């Protein structure tokens, strides 16, 4: 009998005794045991904090490349994860969501490195002027928390649950202690072993507790972050622990919720949207056998379409073969454990007291290739609630399996109200061909939902569906759903960083942020910045150009070249009632002339100019004005080579400040360039 292990303090260890027996959800055979008893979790947390120094010292670029390497490494080994995933009752599609969806989170978060500086910390927002003469300013930086991310995950996604969370904290530079559900930890352990063996992550970046983990969060403190995914009841209990409040520990709760899908009044039978609604709803009932925190629990439809919807869903459910996913034709597997069967059954029986079962039977259903008495199988159950404003159990009780309820609505306002009666949900969806109807629903329901899918025939082919949270969007919801947020792209990474206000002279703030701040010292570049390689450039060094006096001929010539004959540039008789005193130079001429002034034309390390950010024209430039340019190194971002033949280079942002004879700025822009490195 295999004893599954925990990875803590740099080694794989077994817990004392047996806390949990582990079973194959398809055939009921025992596959092993697991325990974490006897582990000193205070030592585990402190080990993570100390070992996390290596991760904190890495730049965002290095962390992003690390995540990408890990994703590629795991993708090469995915076959073994599919094999073990089948033991959890998952079909191939279920496993794909868990395994490749999880690895996809690593790829997505790795790509976020392009939104962060080449530093171990993040510079947040823009500088705040704090003094009259500009010698004292404020800014914000965000540094990695010096604790650990403690992730307590649910049983339904043993791989995705781990990867979608650690992808974010690792990108932020914070190590993790992952505690998956003991019931499906055998699958998490398989992947965790590969992660540890790869040595892609610095030691201590990931620790794994496969047993019950009792006492795990008793030693957390203000440096740490705790996340919990699972039932609202358990999550609220953990969030209320004295240690969490006493130490002001950030706690992110993502709880199961009574998610709703709405059939719009314009999605009538015969439309593609009606067919989409039936298909998507059945998919949400049967994928992972309904064991998803985002699964559809409430099906809200116009009262005149209840019968049509019931027939459509029932017909599709009737053709869904339940059983061993390895058998051809099986489209729905088992629940994760026999314990889940008991829990789902108990809640179905409660719901049946106030509403009618119109499809499915708790006892009489067929299972293909397995024994339903030994495996953890459950029939899809479809309820009909004919008065959902009065019969409200459906808005309070969740059966965490293939169980959903159809309910009617009269007006769209009623549909919104019914959706919100779930007291806070992770996700809702509306299927409609009418954008006005979609807008009314979204605006009305958004306050009680973490995510809303608007589905129609135009996006259906590429839509990821009601139940699929995406790495670059937030996953969470208000109220019953826990009030937390995770993933969310850049937003999720910031959750693991400590924001700190910094104050000082612009030169000092420039050094700290490695971003040029207005008012900082601007040492003259010698040689010209276009003659320097990426490594040689220093933030703040500046080229001060020669001057140019703007003429009427400049304006006419630029109009001829560009085709921009806007009246303010070309017709001095049309300026009455405008802000201009006389014909004015094109803003783009001013920037173009600025480039002519600051660019060193000879071949050198600058490879190309590939963009322009934050361009502003702040003062009219009239013929006779004399302009000059201050071109300052604003920020440097390292860039990895895409191949062995790629030219080693980095991205350099230049602040282009165009000023006139009075010294006032007339145009301001950030130029993005690729600059060659000295060495590759």
Instruction: Please state, in angstroms and rounded to a whole number, the distance separating the CA atoms of residues 591 and 617.
Output: 9
Question: For residue 81, what are its two tokens?
Answer: 């994860």
Query: Catalytic residue among 254, 273, 284, 485, which?
Result: 254
Instruction: Please state, in angstroms and rounded to a whole number, the distance separating the CA atoms of residues 425 and 481.
Output: 5
254 is catalytic: yes
Instruction: Please state, in angstroms and rounded to a whole number, the distance separating the CA atoms of residues 24 and 513.
Output: 53
Query: Catalytic residue among 100, 189, 293, 440, which?
Result: 293
In order, the DSSP letters of 190-258 are: HHHHHHHHHT-SPTTSEEE--S--TTGGGG--TT-EEEEEE-HHHHHHHHT-HHHHHTT--EEEEE---
Instruction: Please state, in angstroms and rounded to a whole number, the distance separating the CA atoms of residues 209 and 216.
Output: 9
Instruction: Please state, in angstroms and rounded to a whole number, the distance separating the CA atoms of residues 70 and 64.
Output: 10
Question: For residue 609, what are its two tokens?
Answer: 């100019």
Instruction: Please state, in angstroms and rounded to a whole number, the distance separating the CA atoms of residues 39 and 215.
Output: 10
Question: For residue 520, what are its two tokens?
Answer: 């900082």
Instruction: Please state, in angstroms and rounded to a whole number, the distance separating the CA atoms of residues 14 and 155.
Output: 20
Question: For residue 638, what are its two tokens?
Answer: 């390292």
Closest C-alpha among 169, 146, 148 to residue 220: 148
Instruction: Answer for the pair 486, 469: CB distance below 8 angstroms, yes or no.
Output: no
293 is catalytic: yes
CB pairs under 8 A, 24+ apart, for 15-18? 15/39, 15/211
Instruction: Please state, in angstroms and rounded to a whole number, the distance separating the CA atoms of residues 640 and 65.
Output: 9
Question: For residue 245, what are its two tokens?
Answer: 């409040």
How many other C-beta atoms lie within 10 A of the C-beta of residue 60?
24
Instruction: Please state, in angstroms and rounded to a whole number, the distance separating the CA atoms of residues 187 and 40.
Output: 24
Burial 420-451 (b: 16+ CB within 10 A, else e): bbbebbbbbbbbbbeeebbebbbebbeebbbb
Please write down the HEC assignment for all residues of 566-600: CHHHHCHHHCCCCCCCCCCCCHHHHHHHHHHHHCC
Q: Specify the DSSP class assigned to residue 634.
A: E
Instruction: Please state, in angstroms and rounded to a whole number, the distance separating the CA atoms of residues 659 and 599.
Output: 16
How many other C-beta atoms lie within 10 A of the C-beta of residue 559?
16
User: Which residues are the active-site residues?
Assistant: 254, 293
């Amino acid at each position: 009998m295999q004893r599954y292990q925990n990875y803590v303090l740099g080694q794989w260890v077994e817990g004392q005794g047996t806390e949990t027996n582990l079973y194959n959800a398809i055939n009921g055979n025992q596959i092993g045991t697991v325990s974490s008893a006897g582990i000193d979790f205070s030592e585990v947390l402190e080990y993570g904090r100390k070992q996390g120094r290596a991760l904190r010292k890495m730049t965002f670029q290095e962390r992003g490349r690390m995540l990408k390497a890990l994703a590629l490494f795991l993708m090469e080994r995915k076959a073994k994860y599919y094999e073990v995933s089948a033991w959890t009752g998952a079909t191939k599609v279920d496993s794909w969501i868990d395994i490749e969806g999880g690895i996809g989170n690593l790829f997505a978060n790795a790509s976020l490195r392009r939104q962060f500086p080449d530093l171990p910390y993040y510079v947040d927002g823009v500088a705040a002027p704090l003094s009259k003469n500009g010698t004292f300013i404020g800014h914000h930086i965000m540094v990695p928390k010096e604790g650990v991310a403690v992730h307590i995950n649910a049983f339904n996604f043993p791989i995705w649950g781990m990867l979608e969370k650690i992808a974010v904290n690792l990108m932020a530079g914070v190590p993790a202690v992952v505690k998956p559900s003991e019931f499906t930890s055998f699958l998490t352990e398989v992947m965790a072993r590969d992660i540890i063996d790869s040595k892609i992550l610095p030691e201590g970046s990931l620790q794994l507790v496969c047993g019950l983990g009792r006492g795990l969060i008793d030693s957390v403190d203000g440096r740490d972050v705790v996340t919990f995914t699972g039932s609202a009841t358990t999550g609220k209990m953990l969030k209320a622990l004295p240690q969490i409040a006493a130490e002001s520990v950030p706690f992110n709760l993502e709880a199961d919720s009574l998610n709703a899908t709405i059939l719009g009044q314009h999605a009538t039978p015969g439309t593609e949207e009606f067919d989409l609604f039936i298909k998507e709803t059945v998919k949400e009932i049967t994928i992972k056998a309904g064991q998803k925190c985002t699964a559809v629990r409430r099906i809200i439809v116009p009262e005149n379409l209840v019968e049509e919807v019931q027939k459509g869903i029932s017909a599709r459910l009737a053709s869904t073969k339940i059983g061993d996913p390895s058998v051809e034709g099986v489209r729905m597997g088992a629940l994760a454990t026999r314990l889940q069967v008991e829990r789902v059954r108990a809640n179905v029986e409660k719901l049946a007291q106030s509403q009618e079962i119109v499809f499915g039977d708790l006892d009489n259903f067929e299972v293909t290739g397995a024994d339903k008495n030994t495996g953890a199988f459950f029939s899809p159950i479809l309820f009909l609630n004919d008065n959902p404003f009065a019969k409200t159990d459906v808005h309070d009780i969740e059966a965490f399996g293939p169980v959903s309820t159809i309910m009617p609505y009269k007006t769209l306002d009623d549909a919104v109200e019914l959706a919100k009666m779930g007291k806070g949900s992770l996700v809702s969806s509306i299927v409609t061909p009418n954008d006005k109807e979609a807008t009314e629903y979204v605006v009305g329901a958004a306050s009680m939902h973490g995510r809303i899918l608007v589905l129609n025939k135009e996006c259906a082919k590429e839509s990821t569906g009601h139940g699929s949270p995406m790495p670059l969007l937030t996953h969470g919801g208000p109220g019953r759903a826990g009030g937390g947020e995770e993933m969310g792209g850049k937003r999720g990474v910031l959750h693991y960083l400590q924001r700190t206000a910094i104050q000082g002279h612009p030169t000092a703030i420039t050094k700290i942020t490695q971003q040029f701040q207005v008012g900082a010292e601007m040492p003259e570049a010698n040689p010209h910045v276009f003659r320097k390689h990426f490594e040689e450039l220093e933030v703040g060094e500046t080229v001060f150009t020669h001057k140019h006096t703007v003429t009427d001929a400049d304006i006419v010539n630029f109009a001829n070249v560009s085709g921009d004959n806007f009246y303010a540039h070309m017709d001095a008789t049309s300026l009455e009632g405008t802000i201009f005193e006389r014909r004015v130079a094109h803003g783009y001429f001013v920037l173009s002339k600025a480039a002519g002034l600051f660019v060193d034309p000879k071949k050198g390390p600058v490879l190309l100019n590939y963009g322009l950010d934050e361009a502003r024209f702040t003062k009219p430039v009239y013929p006779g004005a004399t302009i000059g340019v201050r071109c300052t190194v604003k920020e440097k971002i390292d860039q990895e080579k895409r191949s062995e033949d790629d030219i080693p280079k980095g991205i350099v942002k230049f602040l282009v400040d165009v000023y006139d004879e009075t010294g006032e700025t007339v145009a301001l822009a950030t130029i993005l360039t690729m600059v060659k490195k000295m060495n590759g």
